[in-house]
Amino acid sequence: MKYFYIIKRSGQIYEMNYSPEGYQASISELIKGGILLAVPKGYEQPQAINTKDVTDIVDEQGYEAYISSVKPKEYIKNGVWYDGIQRGEVRLEPWKKAERLGTRALPKAPEKPVDTKRLNKAREKVGEFVRNGFKTV
């Protein structure tokens, strides 16, 4: 299991990295009815979540059941937000966008040594072009 989800009454969904301790602590805090301090995936600072506003804390299987039965307007899976009806991608979380850009970056070509003769010849041509008032010779 990679993630578990905290679903609020407002429809806001927090995607959390799964750890048995974090999952159990979240469930026990929900039962107690206090404030849950958690760091959702992609956040740097902990978020204070009032458990009175939380409708459910579910694992991945429970989240699949939630998506298919409730059909939320938007839902998140692995950092990607999907449309609840059409099931198409809507947007990416910033960390997911960076991850995708990082993996899709083109490999850099090895640097070739600069041919100074060709470079000087090109510079001379450009200089001549400028001196002639940008007229071709």
Domains of the chain, by residue range, sit at 3-104
35 near 50, Cβ under 8 Å? yes
Over the chain (137 residues), the average pLDDT of each successive run of 10 is 87 87 88 84 83 89 88 88 87 86 64 78 84 76
Q: Identify the pLDDT of residue 29.
A: 87
**Pair type for strands 54-59 and 3-8:** antiparallel
Q: What is the CA 105 to chain-centroid distance, rounded?
A: 16
Q: What is the pLDDT of residue 103?
A: 65
Measured distance CA(114)–CA(89) in Å, rounded? 45
Tell whether the torsion through CA atoms of 79, 97, 74 and 82 is positive or negative.
negative
Tell me if residue 118 falls in helix, strand or coil. Answer: helix
Per-residue confidence (pLDDT) for residue 95, from 0 to 100: 83
Distance CA 3, CA 40 (A): 10
CA–CA dist 32, 43 (Å, integer)? 25
The sheet with strand 89-92 has its strands ordered as 74-77, 80-83, 89-92
- Per-residue pLDDT at 41: 83
Which pLDDT belongs to residue 119?
79
Q: Check residue 107 and give its pLDDT.
A: 58
pTM for this predicted structure: 0.64
